[in-house]
Structure 1
Amino acid sequence: MATFLFGILLISFLGYTRCENCVSESRFNELEEIIRVKFQELQNENYELKEKLLALETKLEYYERHRKETPVDKDIGDETDTPEDEGVTNIRNRINGGIESKTIPGKLKRQVSTNVAFYAYLSGKRCYGNHETFIYDVVETNVGNGYNSRDGIFDVPVTGVYVFTVTLVQYPNENIQAEVIVDGVVKGFIFVDYQQNHEIDQASTSIVVHVNAGNHVFIRRGTNSACYVASETNYARTTFGGWLLF
């Protein structure tokens, strides 16, 4: 009898302990959804930080290259600085807080060329992650050398009003969306959805926008999009181009 009563008490105690520590199925599902949403937000934030870091690294590399290659601005016909020139430069530097003009990239001080145009396209099918930059690896035109086929970024060489045009080809049975990014801001969208099975469709969009020298322009995959971007050199190309309007 004592053993029987002890067993009942033990079962009651264990049941009480489980109830104290258990989590209901609805609460568990709710926590699981919260964790999933937070993880997605962190993942999106990580993609955006990577893109900003890449843009900064590309801009820094460009400035460093031009700082080494671009000669110091002088009046036309001057070969060397005279003592009077150095004195004027020193006074100007003190007025400007001691910033030496020789360290400023030539691109920021003056714009040499006003002829800018580029056109590039994908050589084949590609799969891109969320907010990943499209890299158009075949370059047909690159007047001004602003477009970089290694990272897919157009580094604006001259301040002005530009036209940028994008053509997007979807992979069969998949929808594809892309965003036009200008200096870190979404300035345009393009979306292609399939109408029939095994059908390939394409769409184009253009924007006219004022940009400053040193700004970055690129195309990235949107959030409401499939992975694959199609491009066939013979009949349907995914392209990116632009030119200086004025």
Structure 2
Amino acid sequence: MLVVEDEESIADVLAIALRYHRFEVMTAGTVREALILAERTLPHARTGSLGGTPIDAALLDVMLPDGDGRALGRELRARHPDLALVFLTARDAPAEIVGALGYGDDYITKPFDVDVVVARLTAVLRRTRPTDVLPQRPPLRYGDLELDETTYSVRRAGRTVELTPTEYALLRFLVRNGGRIVPKEQLLRHVWQYEHTPPESTVVETYISYLRRKLDALGPPVITTRRGVGYGLA
């Protein structure tokens, strides 16, 4: 996986999340750096020579200091036609989205949820590459809950639970913390990437109620509340 993003903090967050999901990640901040990495790792279309581990996908910022990420994507595709391309940009006009999709496989606007980026990259790879390139992770389990981190699916007592990406991210964080009560501020920081908690925010309470409604329909209440502190799993 090649991540090309000139904002170092964003590149670091993406790399950490992708490595957690067992992707091998290389990062670059410019078109020039990306092409140097591609020269070492992508097979040449004419010779087939390869300098390193092949890249299966590239996550490219559209606006880079020394060029256009879409043109970079076109150059990378010329060298490796099977490369999966996903673009990141702050531009969300329909014409921009249509234009970017003409160069690649998906288009994600900033600001974004890291879990959504990982899910959409995985979906693109599932469509464009053999299944053996997808990193496999064992399911997360807690009681009768089972979360598949490859397909982003959830089951309770063997029955599928349909969750939105944010609901999934919230439940996954609670599962990873087992029976521990997780403070609201920590949930806001890890699930919603809030650096500073808005004092009037009720987003956690809202999504906890969504999860309860879906999970409690399939069994006993599983989410507990510690008033004034946070939430956990029973």
Could you say whether these structures have the same fold, taking a TM-score greater than 0.5 normalized by the shorter chain as the test? no
TM-score by length of structure 1 reads: 0.20
TM-score by length of structure 2 reads 0.21
By percentage of residues, which structure has more strand? 1
Relative to total residues, which structure has the larger helix share, 1 or 2?
2
Q: Which has the higher contact order (CA 8 A, sep 6+)?
A: 1
